[in-house]
Amino acid sequence: MAGLAQIDPRPKDVRSLTKPPAMSEFSLASVVFQEIRMGHEGPGYANSTAEPAKATRQVARIRLYSHDAVRSVRFEAIDATGRMIAPVPAIRVDHDPQNGEYMVLVDIPQQPFRIRAAGVDLTGAAYERVHRRLFQPVAAKPSAKPADPLEAEFLARFEAEKKLHPDGTITISPIDVSSVGYEPLVVNSNVIGMRVWYSARFQADGVYSLAPHVFPVYENFDWRGLVTMRVLREKVTPLPEVPEGTPVQNLLQFGAAAKYRSGIDYRVVLEMIPDYIIPNTQQTKFCIYEAKFPAEGKNRDSWNQVRGLPTPVEYSVNIPGLNFVGKTEVFHPQRTFYEAFLKQGAFDCGPSPNSKF
């Protein structure tokens, strides 16, 4: 297995990694206005009557669908023709990496208005999404209730956000993931796995894990999760900071987190093999952990089918610490990897595998 002596930092058979969801799935799913008292004065309600409102403010809850497809977002009040009336300050209240929920503070205009989301997607291209409902301002209703200190604190958060981001732009992810790709991992003309690479840049110093979760995406759901790809060898350039005494050679293999600095491009190259393959300490010999799958039953039947399937399959590449989910094009099936290791002399590990062989 001399081909594994040094990890190749310059892959040759480059293939790009697609990243769903596409922008076509991103949407401004809902805008729901909620009452909030402004001292002794009630807000202007954005309902369906036509009586003009005074200069009042109201909080709305906005839901974005598939907002992990974009890099930034800002909200705006626009008129019926699409002309911007005013930026709308927002506070993110939900940290779901796929969808997002925001509270916005709207200065209710004197004319009908819509809410628009705008920003840039992951490629840096500008986008816009407009909620279809045209809100009609109505007259403010007086309130005899005293001011609520919690509401004042809530409004102060909006004012702080306004000062921090005058144009209302919110960065959804503080991490830039780029140069993502993959290729077959070939040893002695045999494909034994895949090489995956990516770069990450952080906007703030912090502790992150760059370890990926890679697995074949079968149409048969009974087969999903049966096999995953594990990190055999890794190279991270430059090396991150780890506590004294912690080895940095296998950070991603074991999913460990480390401290990464802002403004630095960290380049990751991984050589990955199926998780049922066990290497020895020197990575010169390999065994096949057949006992990973029960001798009989549903999982054994599924494994027998997966092991013999010649059809190429897509692989999911999920990097949880970077909020990245991608998918390969159809790639080599497990049968290719399995047979390649047999040709390299791999044997059955037995019931209790270890790396001392």
Question: Which residues span the domain enclosing 239?
Answer: 174-348
Mean pLDDT of 118-133: 87
Residue 234 lies in a domain: yes
Residue 175 pLDDT: 77
Assess whether 205 and 186 both reside in one domain: yes
**Main-chain dihedrals φ then ψ at residue 285, nearest 5 degrees:** -135, 155
Mean pLDDT of 207-221: 91
Assess whether 105 and 192 both reside in one domain: no
Residues 252-309 pLDDT 10s: 888 888 899 998 999 999 999 999 999 998 888 999 999 999 878 888 999 999 999 9
Contact 99, 65 (CB under 8 A): yes
Residue 4 has pLDDT above 60, yes or no: no
Residue 144 has pLDDT above 80, yes or no: no
Assess whether 178 and 161 both reside in one domain: no
Assess whether 157 and 238 both reside in one domain: no
pTM to 2 decimals? Answer: 0.62
Confidence of residue 319 (pLDDT cuts 50, 70, 90): confident
Assess whether 166 and 313 both reside in one domain: no
Burial of 44 (0-12, 13-18, 19+ CB in 10 A): buried
Assess whether 190 and 157 both reside in one domain: no
Under DSSP, the state recorded for 113 is B
Contact 26, 67 (CB under 8 A): yes
Total domains in the chain come to: 2
Residue 79 pLDDT: 95
